[in-house]
Homo-oligomer: A and B are copies of this chain.
Amino acid sequence: MRATLMYAAGDVRVEDVADPTIHQPTDAVVRVLLSCVCGSDLWPYKSLPPTDTPRHMGHEFLGVVEETGSEVRTLKAGDVVVAPFTYSDNTCEYCLEGLQTSCVHGGQWGVRGVDGGQGQAARVPYADGTLVKLPVGEESALLPDLLTLSDVLCTGYHAARTAGVGKGDSVTVIGDGAVGLSAVISARLLGAERIVLMGRHRTRTDLGRDFGATDVVAERGEEGVARVRELTGGQGTHRVLECVGLKESVVQGFGVVRDGGTISRVGAPQFTDVPFGFRDFLRNITLTGGVAPARAYIEELMPHVLDGSIRPGRVFDRTVGLEDVADGYRAMNDREALKVLIRP
């Protein structure tokens, strides 16, 4: 089959790789209908040193079950399914707590002999635990919206949930990328009253307003903090959803959070130390979040997608075929595209 490989920063190729087959009785093979490029794929796209053992790319996909191992109980060939961005058995202690990203048998796509998602098909470990059946057909117009359950919507939702967003809350979302916009959808879904979106790309923040942002702050850094404080009577917001992953955006988070408030970060941190000393200790700030256990949220969010009350697939503003995936990476990296859908 054809699949996406990264050989170095900026060097993405589509090549022939081995067709997936059942290795374990708990595996399934899924033919990919849709996948996409993630903001986190852009970190290696900017920085990966040249390598002879290229990375198998992609961790967001939905598709059709083609084959199942002998121990797979809940799925059969022909089922349309979505895969969360990590696989998990969904039976261990961590999975039962809703922390499938710490599953004792779980892991990442594209490493240790597991396929990436940006290809024509994938072997799925622990298929019963990992995959969620979608009650739609292969031709459903909702597939792009449902694909967001794989990562981006669940990541935004994880930010909102771990930040404790509830009815009437004031929330700042830092970042107008696809995760930030998904965080806006999620904050709205959980009842936030005021949602300040910090971002400076007009088409993205306009989509954020459609999703429920009540205010947009284009300024960054100290200026941005001052503007959010001005909007909130000098106090900042109870909840802050940090959807970028840079140190500056976390620092911005501390600037806009109200005393006693919570910052949840779901942008993969590109730094090791967080400036979180005595000053914010005196303010009783909480820093939470982390990599989203997408699997925990799929069933909960799916009904809102199916009934059309949220339209998270609107974050896809470009579609490429698999052979053109390199151009999809380039377009996202150049900020020409917000999020790129791949139709193998």
Say whether A272 contacts B277, CB under 8 Å: yes
Q: Which residues on the B side are within 8 Å of A282 (C-beta)?
A: 101, 290-291
A179 to B243, CA, bound (A): 36
Closest to A272 in B: B277
Q: Verify B291–A269 contact, CB threshold 8 A.
A: no
Interface positions of A from 267 to 288, Cβ below 8 Å from B = 268-269, 271-278, 280-288
Query: Does any Cβ of B come within 8 Å of A99's Cβ?
Result: yes
A65, B222: Cα distance in complex, Å:
46
B281 touches A268 (CB 8 A): yes
Which of B280, B284, B291 is in CB contact (< 8 Å) with A101? B284
| Minimal Cβ-Cβ distance residue in B for A265 | B281
Chain B residues whose CB sits within 8 angstroms of the CB of A278 once the complex forms: 268-269, 272
| Chain B residue at minimum C-beta to C-beta distance from A279 | B272
Instruction: Kindly report which residue of chain B lies nearest to residue A86, judged by CB atoms.
Output: B282
**Chain B residues with CB under 8 A of A290:** 280-285
Q: How many residues does chain A have at the interface if contact means C-beta atoms less than 8 Å apart?
A: 32
- In the complex, A280→B102 CA distance in Å? 11
Is there a chain B Cβ closer than 8 Å to A252's Cβ? no
Which of B162, B259, B277 interacts with A94 by CB under 8 Å?
B259
A276 touches B273 (CB 8 A): yes
Interface string of A238-270 (1 = CB under 8 A from B): 000000000000000000000110000100110
Cβ contacts under 8 Å, A101 to chain B: 282, 284
Asked whether, in the complex, the Cβ of B259 is within 8 Å of the Cβ of A281, the reply is: no
Contacts of A285 in B (CB 8 A): 290
State the Cβ distance, A130 to closest chain B Cβ, in Å.
Answer: 18
Known: A273-B275, A275-B272, A281-B265. A99 touches B260 (CB 8 A): yes
* Cβ–Cβ contact A277 & B273, under 8 A: yes
Give every chain B residue within 8 A of A259 (Cβ-Cβ). Answer: 94, 99, 102
Of B162, B265, B283, which is within 8 A of A102 by CB? B283
Are A287 and B284 also in contact (CB < 8 A) when A273-B276, A277-B271 are? no
Alpha-carbon distance A289/B290, docked complex (angstroms): 18
User: Are A260 and B162 in contact (CB-based, < 8 A)?
Assistant: no
Task: Give the docked Cα–Cα distance between A287 and B291 (Å).
Answer: 15
Interface assignment of A15: CB less than 8 Å from any CB of chain B: no
Residues of chain B with a CB closer than 8 A to A277's CB:
269, 271-274
CA distance A283 to B291 in the complex (A): 7
A–B complex contacts, Cβ < 8 Å, 23 sampled: A94-B260, A97-B260, A99-B259, A99-B260, A101-B282, A102-B260, A102-B284, A268-B278, A269-B277, A269-B278, A273-B275, A273-B277, A274-B275, A274-B276, A281-B290, A282-B290, A282-B291, A284-B289, A284-B291, A285-B290, A286-B286, A286-B288, A286-B289
